Structure 1
């Protein structure tokens, strides 16, 4: 995983919702911390979703969730 995600990745992360499970349709950054920690111990899914969840984990561990919420509020979702 790229440890310094680019601007487009962060904008996409800010607007991405969980596609399945108990927290379906919740923004990834708004997932409960225990759930993201569980994924960290279990293993993140492969692909873009896994990369995003791993980034969310790092942001939550470091108390930086508000940065992504600010991105979501200040940058429109690119289509």
Structure 2
């Protein structure tokens, strides 16, 4: 797991949609499941959302807690 990705998940904000402005790691799991079923956006945001989906799916949120600001 790339530590830079984890840092981005705890600092980058959702740029659009229902949860616009929310820190990515604070997105609810059902929203990530919806994206998983619909298809993640292209590019960096999609990769980050997919990574967050996998983290939450596997109960690894504890990896993000030390990085929260």
**Distance across 1 between alignment mates of 2:66 and 2:22:** 16
| Structure 1: distance between partners of 2:5 and 2:53 | 15
Q: Unaligned regions of 5+ residues in structure 1, if any?
A: 74-79
Question: Scaled by the length of structure 1, what TM-score is found?
Answer: 0.78
The unaligned stretches of length 5 or more in structure 2 are none
CA contact (8 A) 1:14 1:71 kept: yes
TM superposition outliers: structure 1 runs of 4+ over 2 Å: none
- Answer with 12-21 or 62-71: which moved more: 62-71
- Residue matched to 1:77: none
What is the number of equivalent residue pairs in this alignment?
A: 69
Scaled by the length of structure 2, what TM-score is found?
0.88
Q: Which has the larger radius of gyration?
A: 1
Match of 1:76 in 2: none
